[in-house]
Amino acid sequence: MTQRCAFAVLLVLLPFPALAGSPSFDCATAKGPAEKAICASAALSALDVKIADAYGRVRAGLTGPGRDALRKNQLLFLDVRDQAATQKDADLAALLGEQLAFLRTIDTRPRSGVGGVWRNAFGAVTVATKGGVTRAAIATAEPQTGRWVCEVAGEIGPTATGLVVKLDPNTADGWSLRLAPHDGLLRVVALAPKPGVVEPPFCGMAGTVEGDYLPVVE
pLDDT at 14 over 60: no
Mean predicted lDDT score pLDDT of the chain: 88
pLDDT of residue 204: 81
Question: With bands split at pLDDT 50, 70 and 90, how would you rate the model's confidence at 20?
Answer: very low
pLDDT at 22 over 60: yes
Hey, what amino acid is at 148? W
Residue-wise pLDDT for 165-179, tens only, equals: 999 887 788 999 999
pLDDT band at 70 (very low <50, low <70, confident <90, very high): very high
Residue 10, pLDDT above cutoff 80: no
Nearest to 216 by CA among 94, 106, 137, 72: 106
The 10s digit of each residue's pLDDT in 47-68 is: 999 999 999 999 999 999 999 9
Mind listing the pLDDT tens digit for each residue in 126-146?
999 999 999 999 999 998 888
- For the ranges 16-20, 27-31, 106-110, the lowest mean pLDDT is seen at 16-20
3 state DSSP class of 92: helix
| Residue 78 pLDDT > 80 | yes
Helix (H, G, I), strand (E, B) or coil at 45: helix
Alpha carbons 72 and 70: distance in angstroms, whole number: 5
Query: Is it the case that residue 86 has pLDDT exceeding 80?
Result: yes
* Percent of the chain residues past pLDDT 70, beyond the cut: 90
Where does residue 13 rank: exposed (0-12), middle (13-18), buried (19+ CB within 10 A)?
exposed
d(CA 156, CA 167): 9
The amino acid sitting at 34 is A
